[in-house]
Amino acid sequence: MARTPYFMWPACDDLLEPEFITELINILEKMNNTILFFCDFDFISEKTPLKKQKSDNKDLYVVCEENNIYIRIKNSISSNHTKYFYGIFSISILKRIGGFPNHSRDEYFDDNLLVFKTEIIEPFHFIPKILFHRRSKIHFINKFSTDFKSNIRYIENFSIRQTYYRHYLRKLI
């Protein structure tokens, strides 16, 4: 766990704008009941660092500002991966909902249960400003495309997330 009141999960090759941390933490401190503040981001190709592609976050601002649980669930189910983990979390709220499990993974962070809890239990907010540049092993062709292994991983995450929602919503209703 982090030794500070905040936590973030960027990969070692992701790039942050100089004001990323201060801008998000300043807002997070004003709204202490919020688990996460995150910003818009773009993708940077691993092979050509100057070539960028903007993320597809057009609906996230509305979803987060309303903080409506049903809109968040609908948005997440229809999405193939979680877009908002590129932000800063409040450690105290993360601990309250269970925190990050201590798994030995060698690839990347992908705890679907924590994603699920974050999406439906705690409010989070979006800043429509690109402060984060995600470096990716993506091929920039006419359309945004990924390699086969990556597509399988997203399909698996999408299926697991849908299962969590169905199970939890039955209990909620």
pLDDT in tens, 13-40: 778 888 888 888 888 888 877 777 777 7
Please tell me the predicted confidence (pLDDT) of residue 166.
Answer: 60
Whether residue 169 is predicted with pLDDT greater than 60 in this model: the reply is no
Which range of 30-39, 80-89, 131-140 scores highest in mean pLDDT? It is 30-39
Q: Could you give the CA distance from residue 119 to residue 2 in angstroms, rounded to a whole number?
A: 21
Quick one: average pLDDT of 128-155?
56
CA 101, CA 7: separation in Å to the nearest integer?
A: 14
Mean predicted confidence (pLDDT) in 148-158? 50
| Residue 109, pLDDT score | 47
Domain map (residue ranges) of the chain: 6-172
- Residue 57: the pLDDT is 54
Q: Highest mean pLDDT range out of 54-58, 132-136, 146-150, 154-158?
A: 132-136
Q: What is the pLDDT of residue 156?
A: 56
